[in-house]
Amino acid sequence: MPVTIHSKKYMLKVLGFKTDDKELVKNIESMGPNVKRITAEEIEVEYPANRPDMISTLGLARAVRYYMRRSRSFGYSVGKGDGLKISVGSHVSKIRPYIAALVVENMRLGEDDLLDIINFTEKLSNTYGRKRVRIALGLHDMRDVHGPLTYDAYEDEEFVPLGSKTKMKYSAVMGSDKRGKRYEKLCREGDRYVALKDKKGTMSLIPVINSERTRVSASTTRMLVDITGGTREIIEGTADLLAADFIDRGFKVSRVEVAYGGRGRMLPEMKVKKFSIPLKQIDSEIGVTIGFNNAILLANKMGHEAALVGKNIRVSSPPYRLDYVDEQDIIEDIAVGYGYDYIQPVPVLSGTMGNLEAKSRRLDSVIETMIGLGFEEAMNSYLTNEETNFSKMRQENKKDYVNITNPRSGLATMLRTWMLPSLLKGVGQSMHDSFPLRLFEADMVFGIRGNAPEERYHLAAVSCHSKANFNEAKAALEGMLRALGSECTMTETDNRSFIEGRCATVEVDKKSIGVLGEVHPEVLTRFGIEEPAVGFEIELSEWLNPGKESAAGRD
Amino acid sequence: MHRHELSVLTALKEKRRMSFGELLKQSGLGKDEAVWAISNLEKQKLVVVKREGEYELRISKEGEDYAKNGLPELAILRKASGKGASMADLSGKEDQIGISWAKRKGLVEIEGGRITVTEAGKRASREGIESGTALRELHKDSTAYKKYRGSDAIKELVQRKLVEIKEKEALGEVEITQQGILTLAKDRQAEESIEALDRSAIKNRSWAKRRFQAYNVKAPVEAAVVAGRHPLRKTIDDIRQAYLGLGFTEVSGPIIEPAFWVFDYLFVPQDHPARDVQDTFFLGRPSELNIEDAQLVDRIKKEHEAAWHGEWSKQVAMRAVARTHTTSVSGRYINKVIGEINAGKKYELPVKLFTIGRNLRNETIDPKHTTDFYQHDGIIIGKDLTLANLFDVLTKLYKGLGIGNLRFKPMYYPFVEPGVQLLGKHGDEWIELGGAGVIRKEITGIERRRINVLAWGPGVERILLVKKEIDSIADLYGSSVGWLRKMGGV
């Protein structure tokens, strides 16, 4: 979950009532966020990814106020505005087609308010906005904004970027500024750059940087907020969220007209989503009996307005709720309002018999048998690299394995095709432990057949000590197979991982199931093993899933 | 005399004295046998044994730095030499450590924020500090420890956690005594007592006329190694038992999946951060996998586009990935069971399924993170299932696993609504065990009034960590024999 650090002093200021740490933490956590840390100065809160309205300190405090029943209803009214208009040009249609905007008026910003607003908008565009891909925001002081505005992709030109004293070309910002480099892909298409302009020129190179001219400060009293992105519903929803946030700070918000060609949209819309849910359904999904009056109260606690209509409860959801909202979400909110801590567990009535997969039971007897033979069970990563899987084992890499395109380290670049390499690696790391070293693993390996991935179960075992030899491994494997009700035969074979003449193919019912032998001294050296070692690796899939070739579950 | 004792004396006869290692070679005895025999002989004063301290020495990372760059107090002396320095000039952790040791050792004096070097300090600047010299030598060659054993320098280095030393006593040189030589000669002639009982002695009852040689029952042996299940396997076994006890049926599914079953079917939007290359392993061979059910693909496309806006791409859903959670298996079975119910197949509801399996995430491997991890996923498909039912089954499941104190918190996951975070009490702390909830109807494709699905998918390692002290979960997915043996047992 994403994290915000709130100033505690500011939090208490916007909460508007006195509370102690314990009560505050309890109420925040009951709504879903986790309080990671609370000190005299700060509260560090993980907020749920679907609740960007809780990113700002004001938004979190607003939720707490509702939850603690200090607020009961919302009424968000926005002004008509003074006719400010943004015309959207045709060149943004492929790169960043949508814009919404709003004007905030009567602002009296304290340093703490400004800090909260800047943190909020930054975090909003990084998390909910997917690092400005989905949403980017710009804040502008209206003092020096001269409408009408145009939003389009323009050819290279000059402006003074925020924090700079001199004019720079768009292209120069891309090359020199670290944000330019990071967001160039989102801003530039061919030789055009996405920007918002007024009569005096560039207000913002989007989503990279604003102009110095429209810089917002604590003395700003009128502010324009622009929101851009690729999905209309999302950026217009964000405009609602921001408008609600500013109104709850005591400011006035008025609309801006956004025109795509001829049609104009007056934004923000301040959409209130309405739902009508039978009370019976709420009770039967949560598993408690709530009652009408209580249902209204619980909806209120989560910031909704609610009323009774027949046997239904009618809920109006505030415009700042951007999470995908249908009646399922409202029912969850009512459960959260009720408090998960107060929901009494109720048994599911059913008389089913538990049952294991046949595979699990069979794998279990293989494990049991190997332990009976004195081998210790190892569990290694499914991931390995070509060096361990092939080179160190003196095997050729035939590129017939499942590989990874985005490994973080050279240690995990492919899915293992066999398990002996990881066991030998483990033995090599255990030279200081007392001998004999006997390890086995019974688990999955991966391969490709045709274009389809294969998931198979193998059993591999290694025994390492001064007197380890072929017959020891053979005796162990034959004993193991006999315990499982099978007999095997061995045929001499060449395998570069093993000593020539001391290696065999293992066959059951004339079908090869694996290999057994004395590990080649060169292999031993590569794994740092200083004593002789013997080992085997066999296919188990047939035992585990009789009659089935590939791993279970894939249709 | 026991034959092992005899072997030891015989081996010593010629050379009179030899190291324990050589004695093992000469006598042909195993380590335990030789230790036992020598300790018997020593009691009878037939041999004299020198014991010497063996030791293991480890230099910490901080220690290595100092070995290379000198102790931080020396740096302080350098800074304060000449005109002295002011406390305000010092910054950083190194300086803090340095000044505190320099003062403690009387190398500097501090007055009114001024640091001046004392006579001892000047000497130390010229000649070095004993502990610093020792650290440097130990870093070069750990056998230098013999020279410093018990010195103040070593005590200081240990106290500062720059080196760590484990001492253990071991046998050194063994020498035969005059009495030993005599006894050896005598014993060779007279073989009166029985050392090892054998088949013929039992059959012909020859033991009845002789005395059994007494053993030293206190002589040390190396305990036998007991092979066992991997600690993670035992945890998985416990979880299986708990599910069986609650009447669940086990299922399983693929590790390699199209992104569809890992994300899209579970209502995770295509631009969700969990689908980032930073979190999920994308495969190159195969790079794409087919999604079998075209109708299902259509339905999921519609659900996504209605809820998340923007376009849903089948191509993105076909990307081959290593599954990042076993919830993909739950998803496959939710789809299968509800599909069959819709097609008219009779199921006795509720259907209760579980899976325990390995998942892979693109993590940087360190003590706290591994690429591999296990999850146990459970689902109940039925009618009129409630959040209260979910709390009940999770409470019982975890009680069965020895975690009796559970707490439920609201939590957001794209696939459930309501969503639940599961916390378990470990000592005084609440630790996160994993997620749960009621599956969204966009996934099941059926109104909740008719059928709903309770689901959960907590981690397995967490349960193990609550029960055992494990420093590094990276150890779980290695095969270091020493670690496995340490973790062995019940």
Residues in chain A with CB shorter than 8 Å from the CB of B448 are 281, 285, 328
String of b and e for B368-391 (b: at least 16 CB within 10 Å)?
eebbbbbbbbbbbbbebbbbbbbb
Does residue B108 contact residue B115 with C-beta atoms inside 8 Å?
yes
- For A396, which DSSP code? -
Query: Considering only CA atoms, which of A327, A157, A145 is closest in space to residue A220?
Result: A145
Helices then strands, each counted (H, E), chain A:
16, 29
Closest CA in chain B for residue A338: B410
pLDDT tens digits for B316-327?
A: 999 999 999 999
Of B244, B360, B479, the CB nearest to A378: B479
Q: Which residues pair with A491 in a beta bridge?
A: A505
CA distance A525 to B320: 37
- The per-residue pLDDT for range B253-310, each reduced to its tens digit, is 999 999 999 999 999 999 888 888 888 999 999 999 999 899 999 999 999 999 988 8
- The least confident of A316-325, A337-346, A536-545, B481-490 is B481-490
As a whole number, mean pLDDT of residues B235-259 equals 96
A354 vs B309: CB contact, 8 Å cut-off?
Answer: no
Question: Is A544 in contact with A359 (CB distance < 8 Å)?
Answer: yes
pLDDT in tens, B365-396: 787 788 999 999 999 999 999 999 999 999 99
Instruction: Report chain A residues whose CB lies below 8 A from the CB of B419.
Output: 332
The answer on pLDDT for A519 being more than 80 is: yes
For the entire predicted model, the pTM comes to 0.80
Interface list for A 347-366 with B (CB within 8 A): 347-348, 350-357, 359-360
Residue by residue, DSSP assigns B374-438 as EEEEEEEEESS--HHHHHHHHHHHHHHTT---EEEEE---TTEEEEEEEEEEETTEEEEEEEEEE
CB A460 within 8 A of CB A515: no
Delineate the domains of chain B, giving CATH numbers in brackets: 3-57+168-209 (1.10.10.10), 58-159 (1.10.10), 232-255+323-487 (3.30.930.10)
Is A238's pLDDT higher than 80? yes
- Answer whether A381 sits within 8 Å of B372, measured CB to CB: yes
Distance from CA of B249 to the nearest CA of A (A): 5
pLDDT attached to residue A551: 37
User: Once rounded to an integer, what is the mean pLDDT over residues B171-194?
Assistant: 77
Q: What is the pLDDT of residue A548?
A: 45
Residue whose entry in the numeric block shows the structure tokens 């004792």:
B5
Instruction: Give me the pLDDT at residue A549, please.
Output: 40
Average pLDDT over residues A55-67: 97
Nearest CA-CA distance, residue A452 and chain B, Å: 7
Assign A542 a pLDDT band (cuts: 50, 70, 90): confident
Task: Determine the distance in angstroms separating the CA of B11 from the nearest CA of chain A, rounded to an integer.
Answer: 23
Distance CA A401, CA B285 (A): 7
Q: What is the share, in percent, of chain B residues with pLDDT greater than 70? A: 98
A87 CA: distance to closest CA in chain B (Å): 23
Q: Which of B292, B352, B418 sits opposite A555 (nearest CB)?
A: B292
What pLDDT shows up at residue B300? 97
* Mutation target vs B (from A283, A377, A467; most B CBs, 10 A cutoff): A377
CB-based contact B476 A379, cutoff 8 Å:
yes
Closest C-alpha to A378, from A414, A428, A432: A428
CB contact, 8 Å: B329 with chain A? Answer: yes
- A402·B252 Cβ contact <8 A: no
Q: Pull the structure tokens for residue B248.
A: 């669940």
Q: What is the mean pLDDT of chain A?
A: 93
Using a CB-CB distance cutoff of 8 angstroms, which residues of chain A are in contact with residue B332? 553
Nearest to B478 among A32, A328, A380 (CB): A380
Spell out a b/e string for B229-264, using b for 16 or more CB atoms within 10 Å of the CB, else e. bbbbbbbbebbbebbbebebbbbbbbbbbbbbbbbb
pLDDT digits (tens, 9 = 90+) for B415-463: 999 999 999 988 888 889 999 999 999 999 999 989 999 999 999 998 8
Give the pLDDT confidence score for residue A280 in this predicted structure: 93
Query: Using CB atoms and an 8 Å cut-off, which of residues 379-398 of chain B contact chain A?
Result: 380, 382, 384-389, 391-393, 395
pLDDT score of A550: 38
User: What pLDDT is attached to residue B73?
Assistant: 86
- Cβ of A553 within 8 Å of Cβ of B250? The answer is no
Calculate mean pLDDT across residues B331-354: 95
- Non-local CB neighbours of A324 within 8 Å, separated by 6+ positions: A50, B307, B308
Q: Which domains does chain A have, with CATH numbers?
A: 3-67 (3.30.56.10), 85-267 (3.50.40.10), 273-340 (3.30.56.10), 358-544 (3.30.930.10)
Check CB contact of B225 with chain A, cutoff 8 Å: yes
Q: Inform me whether the C-beta atom of residue A403 falls under 8 Å from chain B C-beta atoms.
A: yes
Residues of chain B with C-beta less than 8 angstroms from the C-beta of A408: 362-364
Interface check B371 vs A, CB under 8 A: yes
Q: Is A189 exposed, middle or buried (0-12, 13-18, 19+ CB in 10 A)?
A: middle
DSSP B480: -
Q: Which residues in chain B touch residue A287, judged by CB atoms under 8 angstroms apart?
A: 386-389
Question: Average of pLDDT values for A330-334?
Answer: 95
Across the range A389-411, mean pLDDT stands at 94
Interface of A with B in 248-287 (CB under 8 A): 281, 284-287
Average pLDDT for residues A216-236, to the nearest whole number? 93
Q: Which of B232, B252, B282 sits opposite A379 (nearest CB)?
A: B232
Q: How confident is the model at residue B101 (pLDDT cuts 50, 70, 90)?
A: confident
Query: Residue B328's pLDDT is what?
Result: 97
Locate the chain B residue with the closest alpha carbon to A367: B229
Residue B92 pLDDT > 70: yes
Kindly report the nearest CA distance between residue B118 and chain A, in angstroms.
43
Burial class (CB within 10 angstroms; exposed 0-12, middle 13-18, buried 19+) of A492: exposed
Minimum distance, in Å, between the CA of residue A443 and any CA atom of chain B: 10
Q: Min CA distance, A221 vs chain B (Å)?
A: 35
Q: Which of residues 10-29 of B touch A (CB under 8 A)?
A: none
B486 vs B477: CA distance, rounded Å: 15
Phi, psi of A486 (to 5 degrees): -130, 155
CA A189 to chain centre: 29
- Put simply, whether B270 touches A (Cβ < 8 Å) is no
Q: Are A321 and A245 in contact (CB under 8 A)?
A: no
State the Cα–Cα distance between residues A91 and A188, nearest whole angstrom. Answer: 11
Asked if the C-beta of B251 comes within 8 angstroms of chain A's C-beta atoms, the answer is yes
- pLDDT confidence bin for A554, thresholds 50/70/90: very low
Side by side, the strands of the sheet bearing B351-360 are B249-250, B351-360, B372-382, B452-456, B429-439, B416-426, B406-410
C-alpha A386/C-alpha B267 separation (Å) is 35
Mean per-residue pLDDT, B109-138: 86
Interface of B with A in 117-176 (CB under 8 A): none
Chain B within 8 Å of A335 (Cβ-Cβ)? yes
Tell me whether A134 touches chain B (CB under 8 Å): yes
* ipTM score for this prediction: 0.92
Q: Mutate which of B275, B417, B441, B483 to test chain A, going by most A C-beta atoms within 10 A?
A: B417
**CB atoms B370 and A380 under 8 Å:** no
Are residues B412 and A331, on separate chains, in Cβ contact within 8 Å?
Answer: no
| Partners of residue A231 in chain B, C-beta under 8 Å | 309-310
CB contact under 8 A, A451 and B286: yes
Please tell me if residue B191 touches chain A, with a CB cutoff of 8 Å.
no
pLDDT at A235 over 50: yes
- Within 10 Å of residue A462's Cβ, how many Cβ atoms? 28
**Given the structure tokens 């069979």, which residue do they identify?**
A362
**Reduced to 3 states, what is the DSSP secondary structure of residue B356?**
strand
User: CB contact, 8 Å: A407 with chain B?
Assistant: yes
**B-contacting residues of A 83-102, CB under 8 Å?**
none
pLDDT at A555: 35
